[in-house]
Structure 1
């Protein structure tokens, strides 16, 4: 599996984890955050447990997470 991380603009990235089930969305999100530092990360997922578990894990690490429901998936917007 590859890390589908792309730069949207300066200091803003998108990570597409659609089609992955736990624990992969969480693992890929952790890897992406380590790679981009303090930039904003938008994670796209279609896995309902990830919408619950990824924000909970990140908030314990001090991140702020906003969740938006879109057409058949969710977008988690993560800020340091």
Structure 2
């Protein structure tokens, strides 16, 4: 799937981001890939919603730093 490969290439974070760094994440399910509409943090082996602190209940397949000027609320 060209679309999946293109999206994965856009989310090029390697390894795990530092836990104090909110990032954009790419998720995947049976319907395809999608970006979550909120920033996330990787804390103690789990992806967390940066705003609510709730655990992300999706399969994260990639991450990237937010684009310059994109707000990532605490």
TM-score > 0.5, shorter chain as reference:
no
What TM-score, normalized to structure 2? 0.28
More helix by share: 1
Higher-RCO chain (CA-CA 8 Å, sequence separation at least 6): 2
Of the two, which has the highest radius of gyration? 2
What TM-score, normalized to structure 1? 0.26
